[in-house]
Copies of this chain bind each other. A is one copy, B any other.
Amino acid sequence: MAETPVRFGILGCANIARKVSRAILIAPNSTISAIGSRSLEKASKFASDNGFPASAKVYGSYDAVLDDPDVDAAYVPLPTSLHLKWAILAAEKKKHVLLEKPVALNVSELDAILQACESNGVQFMDATMWMHHPRTAKMREFLSDGNRFGKLKSINSSFTYEPGLEFLQNDIRVKPDLDALGALGDTGWYCIRAILWAVDYELPKTVTALREPEFNEAGVILSCGSSLRWEDGKVATFYCSFLTNLSMDITALGTKGNLRLHDFVIPFQENVAPFYVASNSRFVELSIGCEPSPSEHAVTTDLPQEALMVREFAGLVGAIKGRFKA
């Protein structure tokens, strides 16, 4: 039985909303029914530039989107400092919430958002796309394999890119009143998620910042890193930066194997994404070589990871809607 598509309303015309709009239109169980911006003209241009269906409504405010009865779910790509207000308001208007990352400026803000979603019976999801790529599930299988990977001992992750001068001067991600977490919120978010994902969300015993992050003049982090340690002795380190050429690495080392990939956040290619593993490695006689060398596992996907994210979210929303109807 075909589901009724979940109807998204989009708050604002952020650059990332272009990618997610495409994903909403590609996913089989979702559609776009409205977009709002502080500028009606900007919203209108965004809708036409991004192939919105003719039925999509265009508003000159975020409120209007949340008041529209034809909107089931709000996609919120606003600057992080606005998440608390708009995510909570969306929940109070009974809109399901797909929230861009970093989801909030701190834990208490996120707790307030989650509380609002919970008490209003709406679904919450953070827009961390790579979690929904089938490669991620395949890697999980490997990490959970006692013979091929064993016990996790160490993880290193990096997400860095060099966005250019215009970004470093003007983007919301370098402005203390907009995305105050800077590179930590924009890229460190992924490293931390990768690490927590790898340890199955067990919280570390200690988290220690690497000394002296790099800041811009306004005090926003441009690069930083950290080391983490768990009760059982396993450790992790990460590094995130706006000042370094693109890297998106996870290296996970286990007692019996290891796993690496270099494009965990956004795969180099949309339809196929590799990861590399080796297990039970040995030096050959005389230690003049070693085997096996890492082998590539390529995982294909018929939908881009962001469309899989939307499909998953819309499925959860659909289930809630179905429950209320029943």
Contacts and interface: CB of A to CB of B under 8 A. Distances in A.
A37 interface: no
Contact of A154 (B244, B251, B257, B281): B244
Contacts of A210: 208, 227, 229, 235, 237
Contact of A150 (B18, B158, B245): B245
A225 interface: yes
A253 interface: yes
A304 interface: yes
Bin the interface of chain A by size. Answer: 35 or more
Nearest to A292: B268
Q: How many copies of the polypeptide does the oligomer hold?
A: 2
Interface in A242-280: 243-247, 249, 251, 253-258, 260, 262-263, 266-270, 278-280
A283 interface: yes
Interface string A64-77: 00000000000000
A66 B276 CA distance: 49
10 contacts: A19-B286, A154-B223, A161-B283, A208-B210, A225-B227, A225-B237, A245-B253, A245-B254, A245-B255, A245-B280
Interface of A: 16, 18-19, 22, 150, 153-154, 156, 158, 160-162, 206, 208, 210-212, 214, 223, 225, 227, 229, 233, 235, 237, 239, 241, 243-247, 249, 251, 253-258, 260, 262-263, 266-270, 278-283, 286-291, 293-294, 304, 306
